[in-house]
Amino acid sequence: MRAKLKEIIERAVGSEAGFDIMVSDHVEQGHYSTNLAMRHAKLIHQNPLDIANDFAERIKSSAPADFFEKVEVAPPGFINFWLTPSAWHGSLDDILGQGNKYGVWNIGQNKTVIVEHSSLNIAKPIHVGHLRNAFTGDSLANIYQATGYKVVRWNYLGDWGTQFGKLIVAYRKWGDEAAVEKDPIPTLTALYIRFHDEAKNNESLEDEARAEFRKLEQGDKENRKLWGWFKKESMREFNRVYKTLGIDFDIDIGENFFEKELERVISELTEKGLTKESEGGLIIPLDKFNLPVALVRKSDGGSLYLTRDLANLEYRLKEYKPAKILYVVGNEQSLHLSQVFAVFDLLGLGQGVELLHVKYGMVLGESGKKLSTREGNVVSGEEVLQKALGLARGIVQDKNPGLSRQEKEDVAQAVAIGALKYTNLKENRNSDIIFDWQKMLDFSGDSGPYLQYTYARLQSIKRKARRVDYYWPRRQLHLLKDEKELALIRAIAEYPYALLAALENTAPNLLCSYLYGLANTTNSFYEACPVMKEEDSNLRVARLKLIDATAQTLKSGLRILGIKAPERI
Ligand code: ARG
């Protein structure tokens, strides 16, 4: 609908000053409003109100007769528009015609975007911060996909570094094969912690670890085998958790893969005159960017995280020719990524390629402090998941005891994961979030389960309707005259723009708040306008059509957030 309005405005008065179309907060201020007259007034130094009045007249008279109900001017120069019910009926008709394609864009056509997220570290636990990272990355990837981009989802595994020397030493001294196989991550983490404890009183351990890592780098068979095994066991665990979360990747090439490229990258940097020797190491000065120097080779010849990222970047550019790369990575690595991006700039590699560090806030417990167990350890992703599942099972049992065991379990999974994802996504990406279990699972609040419940309710009406209105007569959308019905059509019509705003601002929370608003509008429609109790079968069918469009929009939006929409809850 916005597109149509925009077209009418442009046809009537042009758009050289540029303008926005906003959805009004209150229907008293119109369905939409525009700042067009104010923009224009600035350009030609005239009174915005006069221009607004003039434009309002011209816009009204150039529109099709049944399009505007009312066009009004409001100080300091807004033009507010109310569209006729018949314009909205046309919009609903169009939405129904698009079916489940409704809402998608093709702005990204022929463009690739790489979304790197999670980037899990081998032998280390998945913690709550990783969950926020994964939910953010996955929903952004979905948003890009829904707007027509080709998306490459990349888990850049942390599978290299001196910690593997430590792990090899610790495993040989205290390790147990069966324990690693049974419970890989906790076992390996414990070995790593023990290494550090023992190293406090035994300096030679660190030397041993360095030597083992060096051997690993040089391709020592035994060490490679151990490393490969640690990686395999860790991946088994990661895949299990990510499968439950419903998140998958196209690529999981990790840091190790780029080892063999490093010398080439370093000589390239040197040939371009970007590097300098410093205290035996090799650096790139970045004063031009107001950044500290980037170290690309250590004085002992050892390789670096930064250099691997540079090699990775070159590889990505070459293999995928992306228009954009999103790095979903915590705030702590801002400096690191700024340095990577600065070197990318110096190299002049990817003209027109946009690199973006997608940061996110912390996940805190109900006390506002970092989430931790009673022992003071950081809570693992798995613990959070299990807790959410336990609570959701209880709720599903209460709400819908009649479901089969398998159905209950499926619904509980969808609800628990939906609750976790929504809680993580609904806040502005950069704000810290507080885990409040009750709110997260509140079926009537701003929560994932509330949206799922709203959807399930609509589906249940549709199921009932199928029995009664088996042959739906031709839809007569013009019967939808109630303000609640029209408000719901207006809300559905905003869906593509909510998606667009989420894309443009790299902000899944905008999609969350849109869906929350849509669910609220749906529920007040539903309370005011009973569907199956409506006697007039034509109106009943028109309402069912409205429900159809609503359900489909909710489901589509939830899917983009990575949240399942069960048919029953
Ligand atoms: N695995 C790294 C860590 O946990 C994060 C990787 C971030 N991505 C990157 N391209 N450097 O610290």
Least confident of 39-48, 87-96, 336-345, 476-485: 39-48
Catalytic residue among 4, 60, 124, 370: 124
For the segment 169-181, what is each residue's pLDDT rounded down to a tens digit? 999 999 999 999 9
Which ligand 1 atom lies nearest to the CA of residue 312? Answer: 10
Ramachandran assignment for 255, one of left (phi > 0), alpha (psi -120 to 50 degrees), beta (any other)? alpha
**Looking at the predicted structure, is the pLDDT value of residue 470 above 80?**
no
Clarify whether 127 is annotated catalytic.
yes
Count of residues for the chain? 569
Q: How far is the CA of 157 from the centre of ligand 1 (A)?
A: 8
- Averaged pLDDT for residues 12-28: 89
Between the alpha carbon of residue 383 and those of residues 139, 183, 378, the distances in Å are 22, 15, 10
Which ligand 1 atom lies nearest to the CA of residue 337? Answer: 11
The confidence band for 303, taking pLDDT boundaries of 50, 70 and 90, is: low
Q: Does ligand 1 come within 6 angstroms of the Cβ of 309?
A: yes
- In 3D space, the residue among 550, 379, 424, 484 whose CA is nearest the CA of residue 27 turns out to be 484
Structure tokens at 9: 């405005």
User: In sequence order, what are the residues at sequence separation of 6 or more whose Cβ sits closer than 8 angstroms to the Cβ of residue 288?
Assistant: 342
CA angle, 469 then 470 then 476, to 5°: 50
For the segment 50-81, what is each residue's pLDDT rounded down to a tens digit? 999 999 999 999 999 999 999 999 999 999 99
> What pLDDT score was predicted for residue 380?
85
Q: Match 């628990």 to its residue by tokens.
A: 416
Separation CA 49–CA 535 (nearest Å):
49
The confidence band for 301, taking pLDDT boundaries of 50, 70 and 90, is: low
Catalytic residue among 31, 117, 130, 564: 130
Any alpha helices (H) in 109-183, and if so which ranges? Answer: 128-146, 163-174, 177-182
- In 3D space, the residue among 521, 553, 554, 545 whose CA is nearest the CA of residue 89 turns out to be 545
Q: How far does CA 488 lie from the centroid of its chain?
A: 26
**Looking at the predicted structure, is the pLDDT value of residue 126 above 90?**
yes
Specify which residues 113 forms β-bridges with: 151, 324
Clarify whether 324 is annotated catalytic.
no
Q: Does ligand 1 come within 6 angstroms of the Cβ of 155?
A: no
> What pLDDT score was predicted for residue 17?
80
Separation CA 109–CA 112 (nearest Å):
8
- In 3D space, the residue among 518, 478, 545, 499 whose CA is nearest the CA of residue 102 turns out to be 499
Ramachandran assignment for 326, one of left (phi > 0), alpha (psi -120 to 50 degrees), beta (any other)? beta
Q: Does ligand 1 come within 6 angstroms of the Cβ of 118?
A: no
The confidence band for 473, taking pLDDT boundaries of 50, 70 and 90, is: low
Structure tokens at 292: 């500290």
The side-by-side arrangement of strands in the sheet containing 324-328 is 150-154, 112-116, 324-328, 354-358
Residue of 117, 156, 257 to mutate, ligand 1, most atoms within 8 A of C-beta: 156
Amino acid present at 319: E
CB-based contact 555:455 (threshold 8 Å) = yes
- In 3D space, the residue among 429, 487, 465, 450 whose CA is nearest the CA of residue 539 turns out to be 465
> What pLDDT score was predicted for residue 466?
78
Topology alike, domains 2-83 and 417-561 = no
Separation CA 494–CA 505 (nearest Å):
16
**Looking at the predicted structure, is the pLDDT value of residue 404 above 90?**
yes
**Looking at the predicted structure, is the pLDDT value of residue 84 above 90?**
yes
For the segment 164-213, what is each residue's pLDDT rounded down to a tens digit? 999 999 999 999 999 999 999 999 999 999 999 999 999 899 999 999 99
Q: Does ligand 1 come within 6 angstroms of the Cβ of 330?
A: no
Separation CA 41–CA 243 (nearest Å):
56
Q: Is 505 helix (H, G, I), strand (E, B) or coil?
A: coil
The confidence band for 365, taking pLDDT boundaries of 50, 70 and 90, is: confident
CATH, range 417-561: 1.10.730.10
- Averaged pLDDT for residues 285-303: 88
Domain boundaries, the chain: 2-83, 163-245, 417-561
> What pLDDT score was predicted for residue 398?
93
Q: How far does CA 276 lie from the centroid of its chain?
A: 40
> What pLDDT score was predicted for residue 249?
98
**Looking at the predicted structure, is the pLDDT value of residue 44 above 80?**
yes
pTM of model > 0.85: yes
- Averaged pLDDT for residues 112-139: 96
Other beta carbons less than 10 A from residue 100's beta carbon: 11
Other beta carbons less than 10 A from residue 223's beta carbon: 20
Q: How far is the CA of 327 from the centre of ligand 1 (A)?
A: 9
Answer positive or negative: Cα dihedral of 6, 9, 13, 19: negative
The confidence band for 378, taking pLDDT boundaries of 50, 70 and 90, is: low
The confidence band for 379, taking pLDDT boundaries of 50, 70 and 90, is: confident
CB-based contact 190:143 (threshold 8 Å) = no
**For the chain, percent of residues with pLDDT exceeding 70:** 97
> What pLDDT score was predicted for residue 300?
75
What CATH homologous superfamily does 2-83 map to?
Arginyl tRNA synthetase N-terminal domain (3.30.1360.70)
The confidence band for 299, taking pLDDT boundaries of 50, 70 and 90, is: confident
Separation CA 297–CA 224 (nearest Å):
23
> What pLDDT score was predicted for residue 426?
97
| DSSP H/E element including 216 | helix 204-217
For the segment 449-468, what is each residue's pLDDT rounded down to a tens digit? 999 999 999 999 999 887 76
Separation CA 12–CA 553 (nearest Å):
32
> What pLDDT score was predicted for residue 366?
75
For the segment 92-114, what is each residue's pLDDT rounded down to a tens digit? 999 999 998 999 999 999 999 99
